[in-house]
């Protein structure tokens, strides 16, 4: 009886993490679309929706504490709870960075310079793919998917470095673009940090399944 109750509570916890993951994926997609396509209304929706992500994170943290205190889980169940706790924290940060991208999109509203920066859509596409694959790896407890998704990080880092150089060159050539360049630099940095936190999720999945710590940044 006690074991069945624990299993149901663990399933409910996982479902909440997946709900949070879906909200974060939506925030990432919509904030980057707002950035690339200059959709101010969509950016404002992302900012308003961040409270839902934060609330779900708080609920998950509370669930984990209750399970640890009341059920005294062992072995795999304990790892699952620790993983859910860590993943929720990473998802919350990914949501925060998505909100920051939306705010950058609002500050860039009406600017056309962004459409000349070919690297940004590439970086957005890779970060979206990485986030989706890591969240799916968690859902399926698939460590092979977690490891393969991490390969994308090298490409993201390379594009980020290229973007930094491109924006620096733009700023040198025309100091009047400083305000725009700063917002684009921030947006690129936020995307890079989202990729880092997504990679953390992959490492958590490997720990959850195997009990081994992995560094997917190597």
133 contact partners, CB below 8 Å, separation of at least 6? 145, 148, 149, 152
The answer to whether 130 touches 195, Cβ cutoff 8 Å, is yes
* pTM of the full structure: 0.92
The stretches in the chain having pLDDT less than 70 are 1-3, 112-117, 218
Q: How far apart are CA 100 and CA 213, in angstroms?
A: 30
The answer to whether 110 touches 40, Cβ cutoff 8 Å, is no
pLDDT at 4: 75
Q: How far apart are CA 25 and CA 42, in angstroms?
A: 14
The answer to whether 120 touches 151, Cβ cutoff 8 Å, is no
Neighbours of 108 (CB within 10 A): 21
Residue-range domain boundaries for the chain: 2-210
pLDDT at 45: 97
What is 2-210's CATH number? 1.20.58.220
> What would the pLDDT profile of 35-65 be if each residue is shown by its tens digit?
999 999 999 999 999 999 999 999 999 999 8
pLDDT at 196: 94
């Amino acid at each position: 009886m006690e074991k069945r109750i624990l299993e149901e509570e663990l399933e409910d916890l996982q479902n909440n993490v997946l709900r949070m993951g879906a909200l974060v994926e939506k925030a990432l997609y919509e904030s980057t679309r707002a950035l690339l396509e200059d959709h101010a209304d969509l950016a404002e929706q992302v900012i308003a929706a961040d409270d839902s992500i934060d609330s779900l994170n708080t609920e998950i943290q509370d669930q984990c504490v209750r399970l640890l205190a009341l059920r005294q889980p062992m072995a795999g169940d304990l790892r699952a709870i620790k993983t859910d706790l860590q993943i929720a924290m990473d998802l919350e940060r990914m949501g925060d960075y998505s909100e920051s991208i939306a705010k950058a999109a609002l500050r860039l509203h009406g600017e056309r310079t962004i459409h000349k920066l070919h690297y940004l859509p590439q970086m957005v596409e890779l970060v979206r793919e990485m986030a989706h694959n890591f969240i799916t790896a968690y859902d399926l407890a698939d460590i092979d998917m977690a490891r393969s998704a991490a390969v994308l990080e090298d490409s993201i880092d390379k594009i980020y470095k290229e973007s930094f150089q491109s924006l620096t060159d733009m700023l040198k050539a025309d100091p009047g673009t400083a305000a725009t360049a700063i917002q684009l630099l921030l947006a690129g940095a936020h995307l890079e940090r989202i990729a880092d936190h997504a990679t953390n999720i992959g490492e958590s999945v490997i720990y959850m399944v195997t009990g081994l710590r992995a560094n997917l940044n190597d």
